[in-house]
Structure 1
Amino acid sequence: MTDANRRGWLKGAGAAAAGLFVSACDRLNAHAGFSGMLQSAEGLTRRAQRLVIDRKALAPEFTPADISRDFRANGSTAPDDPAYGAMVESGFSDYRLVIDGLVERPLQLTLADLRAQPARAQITRHDCVEGWSSIGKWRGARLGPLLEKAGLKPNARYIVFHCADVLEPTLDGTGQYYESIDLIDAYHPQTILAYEMNDAPLPVKHGAPVRLRVERQLGYKHAKYVMRLEAVEDYAHLGRGKGGFWEDRGYEWYAGI
C-alpha cells in the first residue's frame, strides 16, 4: 500500500468513526465502559497512523491557484471578551504571547517578536469534522524553534494552547477554549503559530492575532485566538481533563488525517 493510499484509508476510517461517534455520543457518552473503549480505540488509531506514516511526513501543500475564494470560519468568529476587544481596537499592539509551564526560560512575545522568529509559509487544506474543506495560505512562527528558545524541561510531554474565546459559559470555567498537542506534532515542520492568512494579517474571524496550524490534524485542533502556550506533563487537571474544549465534549483528542 502506498503512502497516499494509507493516508486515504486512515482519513476515510477516521471520518467514518467520527461521524458515528458524534451521532451516538449523546446516548452512550454517559457509560464509562463505552467511553473507555473509545479512548482505547483512539490510542490504537494514533499508534497505527504513526507506525505507517513518517512522523515528519508533510501534509499536502497546494498552489496559489488552489486557494479557496471563501474560506469558512470555524468555531468562534469574534470572542466576547472585553480584554480581547481592547486588543482588537489597538491593532493588537499590546498583545503578548506567553510561553510558560515546564520551560526553563518563560517568554512573553509581542507580534513583532513573533514575526522575528523562524517562520514558514504554506498553502494547505483545512479539513473540518463537519465535512467541509477549504484551502488557504498561512505564514507564522514555527512552533519547534519557539519551544527550543523557551527550553522544555525533561518532563514536558504536551503543549496546551490557552485561548481568548469562551464557547460555553460555565460556573467551573470549563467553557474557556483550550487545545493540546503532543511534542511529535509540536515539533512537526508544518506546525506554526500563524499570524498571516493569504498574505494579509490574520482576520479576527480566523483567529487573530495568532492561531495554531497543525496541518496533519482535523480543523478543531487548530486553536484560534492563542494567548498562552503552557508546557505540561499531562492535561488531566485542565478543563474536564480530556485535553481540549471539544475533546471534553466527546471529540477525540487525536484527530490525525
Structure 2
Amino acid sequence: MSDPRDKAPNSPIVSRRALLTGLTASAATLLAACDKLGNDERFRKALFSAENMHKWLQRSLQDREALAHEFRADQRSPHFRGNGTLNPGTDAYKALWRGKFADWRLRVDGLVARPLSVSLAQLHAMPQRVQTTRHDCVEGWSAIGTWRGVPLRTVLDAAGLHTNARYLVFHCLDEMGQGPGQGYYESIDLVDAFHPQTILAFALNEQPLEVRNGAPLRLRVERHLGYKHAKYLSRIEAVADLAHIRGGKGGFWEDVAGYEWYAGI
C-alpha cells in the first residue's frame, strides 16, 4: 500500500506541517508589511497563540461540517462513567429531580428575536438525532455511548439569532460551590453550534440521562474534548463576545484553571 504522504507535487492534499509553515510565513509577511500591527503585542499574541493556531489548522484541514467518527451500538462502552460533577446537589436541583424534571425549563435568550422557555416534553416532541460517538476526557479516559437529542440548530432556528450573535453561552445548574449563577458554564461559536452532530442530549444508550451524566439535558459537541460538553443545562445565551461573561475566557475551567477555550479534536 502506498504511503499517503507520497503525493505528487501538484496534489491538493496539504500536510499540517506545510499549512502551519504557510500560515506562519503569511503572518510574518503581514507583520513586516504593517509595522504598527507588528509592534502591537496584543496583536502578535493573538496571531501566534497556540489556541488560535490550533483552531485555524483544524478548520483549514477539515470541512467545517466533517463528522466525528460514529460507532455501532455493539461497540458502546459497558459503562459510561460520569465526568466532573456527578450531582449538583443543590436544593433547587433536588426538587427538579424529585419532580422528574417536569418543572425544569431551558431558557434561550440574549441576542435572539424570540426568547424561548422550553420544557423537557417539548424537546422530546422536536425532531431528534441519534449518534454513537466517543467521549474524550481531558483527564485521559474515553467512552463510547449513544446519544439522543435535539439538534442545537433546531432550537436556534426557533429562537431566531440576531445577526450580531457570535457565540452561545451554556449556563448550568451545577454551582461548583460558587453560588447561583456563578457555577459551571461553557461556550462555543456558531461554527460548532450549527454542526450536524451538535445536539442537546436527553438520553444516553436509549435511557433518560442519569444524574451523573447531566440530567435532564446536556450539550454534545462531538468534535471537542469533554469539558466543552456542558451538563445540567438551564439556559443558552446568545452573545456578541465573551469578554464580559464571568471571567471573560468563555468557560468555567478556562477562567479558573487556564484551559483552552477551543478544545477541538
TM-score by length of 2: 0.81
5+ residue gaps, structure 1, are: 8-31
State the Cα deviation string for residues 106-145 of structure 1 (Å, max 9, x = none). 0000101111122100000000011110000000010011
Do 2:169 and 2:185's aligned partners in 1 also have CA atoms closer than 8 Å? Answer: yes
Query: Which residue in the other structure is 2:120 paired with?
Result: 111
> Where does 1:170-181 land on structure 2 (aligned, <5 Å)?
175-181=182-188
Query: Which residue in the other structure is 1:226 paired with?
Result: 233
5+ residue gaps, structure 2, are: 6-13, 17-40
Q: CA deviation at 1:168?
A: 3.9
**Counterpart-to-counterpart distance in 2, 1:222 and 1:47:** 21
Check 1:120–1:6 CA distance in 2 against 1; reply closer, same or farther (3 A cut). farther
Do 2:112 and 2:159's aligned partners in 1 also have CA atoms closer than 8 Å? Answer: yes
Residues 1:243 and 2:250 aligned together: yes
RMSD: 2.2
Query: Which residue in the other structure is 1:214 paired with?
Result: 221
**Counterpart-to-counterpart distance in 2, 1:243 and 1:123:** 27
> Where does 1:1-257 land on structure 2 (aligned, <5 Å)?
36=45, 40-169=49-178, 175-248=182-255, 249-257=257-265
**Counterpart-to-counterpart distance in 2, 1:42 and 1:174:** 27
Task: Report the 3-state secondary structure (helix = DSSP H, G, I; strand = E; otherwise coil) of the residue aligned with 1:147.
Answer: helix
Do 1:191 and 1:214's aligned partners in 2 also have CA atoms closer than 8 Å? Answer: yes
State the Cα deviation string for residues 176-218 of structure 1 (Å, max 9, x = none). 1000000000000000000001001010100000000000000
Do 1:117 and 1:146's aligned partners in 2 also have CA atoms closer than 8 Å? Answer: no
Task: Name the aligned partner's letter for residue 61 of structure 1.
Answer: E
Identity %: 57
State the Cα deviation string for residues 135-178 of structure 1 (Å, max 9, x = none). 000000100111011000000000100000022437xx785100
**Counterpart-to-counterpart distance in 2, 1:112 and 1:81:** 23
Do 2:133 and 2:145's aligned partners in 1 also have CA atoms closer than 8 Å? Answer: yes
Q: Between Structure 1 and Structure 2, how many residues are aligned? A: 227
Q: Which of the pair has the greater relative contact order for Cα pairs under 8 Å at 6+ separation?
A: 1
Q: CA deviation at 1:37?
A: 7.2
State the Cα deviation string for residues 61-117 of structure 1 (Å, max 9, x = none). 001111111111101111022111100000000011100000000000010111112
Check 1:38–1:206 CA distance in 2 against 1; reply closer, same or farther (3 A cut). farther
**Counterpart-to-counterpart distance in 2, 1:229 and 1:82:** 22
Larger radius of gyration: 2
Check 1:6–1:189 CA distance in 2 against 1; reply closer, same or farther (3 A cut). farther
**Counterpart-to-counterpart distance in 1, 2:181 and 2:107:** 20
**Counterpart-to-counterpart distance in 2, 1:229 and 1:37:** 27
Do 1:174 and 1:239's aligned partners in 2 also have CA atoms closer than 8 Å? Answer: no
**Counterpart-to-counterpart distance in 2, 1:74 and 1:39:** 32
TM-score by length of 1: 0.83
Check 1:255–1:38 CA distance in 2 against 1; reply closer, same or farther (3 A cut). farther
Q: CA deviation at 1:41?
A: 1.5
Post-superposition, which runs of at least 4 consecutive aligned residues in structure 1 deviate over 2 A? Answer: 36-39
**Counterpart-to-counterpart distance in 1, 2:140 and 2:48:** 23
